[in-house]
């Protein structure tokens, strides 16, 4: 155990976390050069394509230090986006220390701070690492000053590296050995292991990722989940070295996996503690907080018979993503589906993409909503996140919406642009302070509903990529919410309804009408699209009918082409929903969610 | 044998032979057929074409139509056309009385050339007039004038062509209903046996489509183009022509394009020359779209086939419906049921009832066909039929 180190790498997005992970993996030779690919820990397609880390991964790196001993360095990779703070928290609770990476030219950013605070909450040993020192724009002295002033860490402890060029990687490995504490815990004590992740393997059942705090587990043991007392027999234990490597046993301080033939997906809960049935520990591992979803949306299968499949897929995905919550839902337009809670809009997109790619489903999502508190005339309070359940306005005394406290760090030349963005989103400026001579931290209080749509993208764009952002929910405040309905040829489409602030309703309605006009195919009759609050129409658009729709020429060479078009249309129709006589494609539902007009 | 049986059984019907001559004096900006303007390669192409005929003559078909299309086949000299017709007769079983068509561009015709075509065995001439108005011809990038067209038609009659077809294009930017009907009137004045009237289509990838997309000109409003479609049908029917396919009109049933009818009836055809398509009842194949590749392959004794598809039952059904709906005769329900083993009205009854109500379709127990109004919306209607298929 003295030769084990459990650590995470935490950083603001794009500061080089995945590149450093790659170099550490290469330096310890667990993967041959031939099999190596960049961002090796980001195994999901979505992660590679978007260049982000979504899921935590672990890898065990054997390292021969200068003292001649072989150390086992367990790297627990974490996501960087603000939506996935929860994943970071789960990973950190399995570690004794963390490498905090700071980009030598960008300096300390909002998530650098947020992740540092998280790490400190878990009492981790923190080693600052200044990355990208090879860049011409690198300013190491300035970053050291920020480390001292903004982070309150010892700047002289910082390791200077360039992960891209492979500079300083040995120093990082030595620092892990010498400066990070080894785990503690008695391998002879009753088993106490924390589940920090899991995923479903079609051949082996659930693979549980766990950190052993005390005791030992080996194949043949009968394990018990402390939350529900479910008992399974261990088939295999092991560690991760990109692939799963079986071991005879796992004991205190180690990070690895267990396979126990678990088919019941719901039995495995991240944050649960595993112990031995015959010799249980006294108490579960403490201090593991459930993620709280902040954005809600309903998911429906496009195919009318796709509900069962969606249910099974969600259950499996939930195993790999404990932060996802869902319950059954019904829409008059779309049939049976699920109301889901997400950590943020990126999380929502990721879940949608994973369901579509990994489970081959075709989905329709409804407009994301936050959770509103509706105070009724009889003083009862309803929590509403689904427009379909929004009560009749005459029954409502008042409505409250969640507010966040946002920390926005920007170079001061973007102050005007960022300020305008926040004020446009109904933000209240609480404070601002200079972190260094030209870097500014602005504190804004903003309605969460204004942030979940595309605030982060907009902030990035108005600050040319330099702005960073982190937030926490602070309280609920009185607001003026209306339910915006969309009518197609006079018929209300419940799946397109959204709850919006009254001041924003006209803009949103216009946006929805325009988007739907672009996405709904023309028909032989006129299609009227209207946005309405109650009986009042506040926006409209019209899709003019076909006045002709005929291919003039069709001879030998044209027949195949024409048939293929008809086949494509037939296939496309499977991705459409009928509302009255109008066919609405899946893309139309999704286009309404994107706000690119303001 | 009943009419339905003949319609479904391909082997009882003579096939069609198509020859693609991929050369033009100039490319028209709206055209997406394959052709090149370098005519120095014609001699090499001719040898390759003869070679392709000798290699494909083994098909167990009888032919009652030969169609020489393009491109601009009339860029060939009469003796070259004669060689094509002669070699076709030598290589294939071409029935007596077969329809032998040549497509011609007025800008390439002279009286002596026309008599030469006639003696080469061409018995049907199809002239690409497109318009009699020079402003429209200019927009269409044609090499000829309205006057050239007039001369060509008169010369063709003089040369003895008694089966004459004219091609016209409408829906041209700036066109009015009045000006189009004048064009049509002039065409009818020559009393052609056949008329093809094509609505101008902006095919993706053509210079004209790019011009439209970039906003260099405005397309005729869709509603006017649609109105011209119905006006064309009404005008020509009033002048005694049958509207027998979306874009095709004949003075009598005998003068329908025997060759082109095969495309819409699912009757086999063999296509020769670059980019030509062949259909043998279940398999469709197509030649490469390159004169040099075509020539090289045949010189090396290889067929220039670039691809093929074997139609599944579902695909055959889609084609039968789409092509059937293009014809005024429509789809023969019984033949359809025999071929595909499904109940025609069971499958499409709902769509048919709706279309009848909208006066877009005439349907009896045995046949269903689009009205002129329905033809205007053929593609969307065909799509509705296809959606009903399992």
Query: Do residues B348 and B259 share a domain?
Result: no
Residue A286 has pLDDT above 80, yes or no: no
Residue A578 has pLDDT above 90, yes or no: no
Cα–Cα dist A381/B235, whole Å: 72
Q: What is the pLDDT of residues A459-499, one digit of tens each?
A: 878 887 777 787 888 999 999 999 999 999 999 998 899 99
CB atoms within 10 A of CB B97: 8
Please report whether residue B327 resides in a domain: yes
CB A127 within 8 A of CB A29: no
Strand blocks (E) in A534-575: 536-543
H/E element holding A32?
none
Please report whether residue B295 resides in a domain: no
Mean pLDDT over the full length of chain A: 86
User: What's the pLDDT score for residue A81?
Assistant: 58
Cα dist from B266 to A55, A503, B203, B311, whole Å: 55, 61, 24, 12
Give domain A295-365's CATH architecture.
Answer: 2-Layer Sandwich (3.30)
Please report whether residue B146 resides in a domain: yes
Least confident of A76-90, A93-107, A308-322: A76-90
Which of these three, B226, B246, B265, is where a domain ends? B265
Of A551, A556, A560, the CB nearest to B18: A556
Please answer yes or no on whether A549 and B377 come within 8 Å at the CB atom.
yes
> Do the domains A373-479 and A483-593 sit in the same CATH topology, yes or no?
yes
Cα–Cα dist A586/B92, whole Å: 53
Least confident of A343-347, A367-371, A529-533, B313-317: A343-347
Of B18, B318, B375, the CB nearest to A550: B375
Residues of chain A in contact with residue B376, where contact means CB-CB under 8 angstroms, are: 548-550
Q: In B, what residues contact A, Cβ < 8 A?
A: 18, 33, 198-201, 221-223, 225-226, 229, 246-247, 260, 263-264, 269, 271, 275-279, 284, 286, 309, 315, 318-319, 322-323, 326, 375-380, 382-383, 386-387, 389
Please answer yes or no on whether B201 and A552 come within 8 Å at the CB atom.
yes
Residue A423 has pLDDT above 80, yes or no: yes
Query: Do residues B259 and B318 share a domain?
Result: no
Residues of chain A in contact with residue B323, where contact means CB-CB under 8 angstroms, are: 554, 559
User: What's the pLDDT score for residue A589?
Assistant: 85
Query: Do residues B256 and B382 share a domain?
Result: no
Three-class SS of A56-108: CEEEEEEEECCCCCEEEEEEEECCCCHHHHHHHHHHHCCCCEEEEEEECCCEC
User: What's the pLDDT score for residue A2?
Assistant: 84
Q: Which residues of chain B have pLDDT under 70?
A: 1-12
Query: Do residues B35 and B129 share a domain?
Result: yes
Residues of chain B in contact with residue A547, where contact means CB-CB under 8 angstroms, are: 221-223, 225-226
Residues of chain A in contact with residue B199, where contact means CB-CB under 8 angstroms, are: 548, 550, 552
Distance from CA of B312 to the nearest CA of A (A): 12
Cα–Cα dist A479/A200, whole Å: 43
Give domain A483-593's CATH architecture.
Answer: 2-Layer Sandwich (3.30)
User: What's the pLDDT score for residue B1?
Assistant: 38
Which of these three, B234, B265, B296, is where a domain ends? B265
Q: What is the pLDDT of residues A255-266, one digit of tens each?
A: 999 999 887 766
Please check whether residue A550 touches B, CB under 8 A: yes
CB atoms within 10 A of CB A390: 21
User: What's the pLDDT score for residue B6?
Assistant: 43
CATH value at residue B378: 1.10.10.920
User: What's the pLDDT score for residue B9?
Assistant: 53
Top pLDDT among A202 and B99 is at B99
Residues of chain A in contact with residue B221, where contact means CB-CB under 8 angstroms, are: 547
Please report whether residue B103 resides in a domain: yes
Mean pLDDT along residues A551-560: 92
Cα dist from A19 to A44, A47, A101, B99, whole Å: 16, 14, 11, 73
Cα–Cα dist B90/B21, whole Å: 19
Of A546, A550, A560, the CB nearest to B309: A560
Domain A192-276, what fold? Elongation Factor Tu (Ef-tu); domain 3 (2.40.30)
CB atoms within 10 A of CB B2: 10
Please answer yes or no on whether B318 and A566 come within 8 Å at the CB atom.
yes
Query: Do residues B251 and B326 share a domain?
Result: no
ipTM score assigned to the predicted complex = 0.94
For residue B275, what are its two tokens? 């980019």
Task: Compute the count of residue pairs across chains A and B with CB atoms less than 8 Å apart.
Answer: 97
CATH value at residue B230: 3.20.20.70
Top pLDDT among B322 and A155 is at B322
Please report whether residue B343 resides in a domain: yes
Residues of chain A in contact with residue B379, where contact means CB-CB under 8 angstroms, are: 549-551
Residue A590 has pLDDT above 90, yes or no: no
Please answer yes or no on whether A556 and B271 come within 8 Å at the CB atom.
yes
Of A550, A567, A570, the CB nearest to B379: A550
How deeply is A335 buried, as exposed, middle or buried, from its count of CB atoms within 10 A (0-12, 13-18, 19+)? middle
What is the tally of structural domains in chain B?
Answer: 2
Range(s) of the domain holding residue B127: 3-265
User: What's the pLDDT score for residue B12?
Assistant: 65
Please report whether residue B61 resides in a domain: yes
Residues A43, A44, A47, A48: is their CA dihedral positive or negative?
A: positive
Give domain A373-479's CATH architecture.
Answer: 2-Layer Sandwich (3.30)
User: What's the pLDDT score for residue B5?
Assistant: 44
Query: Do residues B259 and B321 share a domain?
Result: no
Top pLDDT among A16 and A540 is at A540
Residue A162 has pLDDT above 50, yes or no: yes
Taking the model in full, what pTM does it have?
Answer: 0.69
Q: What is the pLDDT of residues A14-25, one digit of tens each?
A: 788 888 888 888
User: What's the pLDDT score for residue A55?
Assistant: 54
Cα–Cα dist B333/B352, whole Å: 12
Top pLDDT among B55 and A284 is at B55
Q: What is the pLDDT of residues B264-278, one digit of tens each?
A: 999 999 999 999 999
H/E element holding B311?
none
Please report whether residue B41 resides in a domain: yes
Least confident of A51-55, A244-248, B311-315: A51-55
Domain ranges in chain A are 4-179, 192-276, 295-365, 373-479, 483-593
Please report whether residue B117 resides in a domain: yes
User: What's the pLDDT score for residue A575?
Assistant: 75
Q: How confident is the model at residue A79 (pLDDT cuts 50, 70, 90)?
A: low
CATH number assigned to the domain with residue range A4-179, chosen from the 4 options 3.40.50.300, 2.60.40.1930, 2.30.30.100, 3.40.50.920: 3.40.50.300
Residues of chain B in contact with residue A554, where contact means CB-CB under 8 angstroms, are: 246, 263-264, 322-323, 326
User: What's the pLDDT score for residue A88?
Assistant: 67
């Amino acid at each position: 155990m003295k030769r084990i180190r459990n650590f995470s790498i935490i950083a603001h997005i794009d500061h080089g976390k995945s590149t450093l992970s790659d170099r550490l993996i290469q330096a310890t030779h667990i993967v041959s050069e031939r099999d190596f690919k960049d961002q090796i820990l980001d195994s999901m397609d979505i992660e590679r394509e978007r260049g982000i880390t979504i899921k935590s991964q672990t890898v065990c790196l054997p390292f021969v230090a200068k003292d001649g001993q072989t150390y086992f360095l367990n790297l627990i990779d974490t996501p960087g986006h603000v939506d996935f703070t929860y994943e970071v928290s789960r990973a950190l609770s399995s570690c004794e220390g963390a490498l905090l990476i700071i980009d030598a030219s960008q300096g300390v950013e909002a998530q650098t701070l947020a992740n540092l605070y998280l790490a400190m909450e878990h009492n981790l040993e923190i080693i600052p690492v200044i990355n990208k020192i090879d860049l011409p724009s690198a300013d190491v002295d300035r970053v050291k000053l920020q480390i001292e002033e903004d982070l309150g860490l010892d700047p002289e402890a910082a390791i200077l590296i360039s992960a891209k060029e492979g500079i300083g990687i040995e120093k990082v490995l030595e620092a892990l050995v010498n400066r990070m504490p080894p785990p503690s815990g008695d391998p002879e004590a009753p088993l106490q292991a924390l589940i920090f992740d899991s995923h479903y393997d079609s051949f082996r059942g659930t693979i549980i990722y766990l950190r052993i705090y005390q005791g030992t587990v080996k194949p043949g043991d009968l394990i018990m989940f402390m939350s529900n007392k479910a008992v399974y027999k261990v088939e295999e234990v092991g560690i991760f070295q990109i692939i799963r490597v079986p071991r005879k046993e796992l004991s205190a301080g180690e990070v690895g996996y267990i396979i126990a033939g678990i088919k019941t997906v719901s039995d495995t809960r991240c944050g649960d503690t595993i112990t031995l049935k015959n010799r249980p520990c006294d108490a579960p591992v403490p201090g593991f907080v459930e993620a709280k979803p902040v954005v809600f949306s309903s998911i429906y299968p496009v195919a009318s018979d796709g509900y069962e499949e969606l249910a099974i897929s969600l259950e499996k995905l939930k195993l790999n993503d404990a932060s996802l919550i869902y319950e059954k839902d019904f829409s008059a337009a779309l049939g049976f589906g699920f109301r889901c809670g997400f950590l943020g809009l990126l999380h929502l997109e990721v879940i949608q993409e994973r369901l579509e790619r990994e489970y081959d489903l075709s989905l329709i999502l409804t407009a994301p909503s936050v959770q509103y508190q509706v105070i009724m005339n009889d003083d009862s309070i309803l929590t509403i996140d689904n427009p379909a359940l929004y009560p009749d306005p005459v029954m409502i005394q008042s409505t409250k919406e969640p507010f966040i406290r946002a920390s926005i760090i920007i170079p001061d030349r973007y102050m005007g642009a960022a300020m305008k963005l926040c004020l446009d989103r109904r933000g209240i400026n609480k404070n601002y302070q200079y972190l260094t001579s030209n870097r500014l931290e602005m504190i804004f209080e903003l309605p969460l509903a204004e942030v979940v749509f595309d605030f982060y993208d907009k902030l990035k764009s108005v600050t040319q990529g330099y702005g960073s952002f982190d937030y926490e929910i602070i309280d609920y405040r009185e607001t003026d919410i209306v339910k915006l309905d969309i009518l197609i040829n006079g018929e209300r489409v419940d799946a397109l309804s959204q709850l919006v602030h009254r001041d924003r309703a006209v803009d949103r309605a216009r946006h929805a009408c325009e988007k739907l006009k672009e996405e709904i195919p023309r028909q032989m009759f006129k299609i009227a699209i209207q946005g309405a609050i109650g009986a009042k129409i506040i926006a409209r658009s019209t899709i003019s009918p076909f006045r002709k729709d005929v291919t003039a020429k069709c001879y030998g060479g044209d027949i195949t082409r024409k048939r293929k078009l008809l086949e494509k249309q037939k296939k496309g129709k499977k991705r459409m929903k009928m509302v009255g006589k109008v066919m609405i494609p899946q893309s139309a539902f999704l286009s309404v969610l994107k706000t690119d007009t303001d | 044998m009943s009419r339905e049986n003949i319609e479904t059984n391909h082997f009882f019907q003579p096939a069609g032979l198509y020859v693609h001559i991929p050369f033009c004096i100039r490319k028209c900006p709206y055209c997406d057929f394959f052709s090149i303007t370098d005519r120095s390669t014609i001699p090499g192409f001719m040898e390759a074409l003869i070679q392709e005929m000798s290699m494909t003559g083994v098909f167990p078909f009888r032919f009652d139509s030969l169609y020489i299309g393009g491109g601009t086949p009339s860029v060939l000299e009469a003796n070259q056309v004669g060689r094509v017709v002669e070699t076709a007769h030598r290589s294939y079983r071409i029935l007596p009385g077969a329809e032998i068509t040549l497509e011609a561009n007025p800008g390439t015709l002279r009286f002596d050339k026309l008599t030469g075509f006639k003696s080469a065995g061409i018995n049907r001439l199809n002239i690409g007039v497109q318009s009699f108005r020079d402003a429209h011809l200019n927009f269409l990038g044609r090499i000829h004038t309205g006057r050239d067209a007039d001369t060509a038609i008169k010369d063709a009659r003089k040369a003895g062509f008694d089966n004459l077809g004219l091609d016209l294009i409408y829906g041209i930017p700036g066109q009015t209903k009045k000006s189009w009907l004048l064009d049509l009137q002039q065409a009818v004045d020559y009393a052609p046996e056949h008329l093809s009237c094509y609505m101008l289509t902006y095919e993706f990838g053509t210079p004209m489509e790019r011009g439209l997309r970039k906003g260099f000109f405005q397309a005729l409003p869709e509603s006017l183009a649609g109105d011209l479609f119905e006006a064309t049908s009404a005008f020509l029917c009033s002048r005694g022509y049958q509207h027998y396919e979306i874009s095709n009109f004949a003075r009598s049933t005998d003068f329908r394009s025997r060759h082109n009818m095969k495309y819409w009836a699912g009757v086999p055809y063999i296509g020769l020359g670059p980019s030509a398509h062949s259909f043998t009842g279940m398999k469709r194949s197509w030649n490469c779209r390159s004169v040099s590749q075509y020539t090289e392959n045949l010189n090396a004794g290889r067929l220039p086939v670039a691809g093929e598809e074997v139609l599944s039952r579902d695909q055959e059904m889609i084609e039968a419906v789409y092509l059937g709906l293009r014809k005024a005769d429509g789809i023969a329900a019984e033949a359809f049921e025999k071929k595909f083993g499904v109940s025609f009205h069971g499958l499409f009854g709902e769509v048919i009832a709706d279309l009848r109500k909208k006066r877009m379709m005439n349907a009896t127990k045995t046949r269903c066909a689009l009205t002129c109004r329905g033809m205007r919306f053929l593609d969307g209607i065909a799509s509705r039929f296809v959606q009903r298929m399992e």
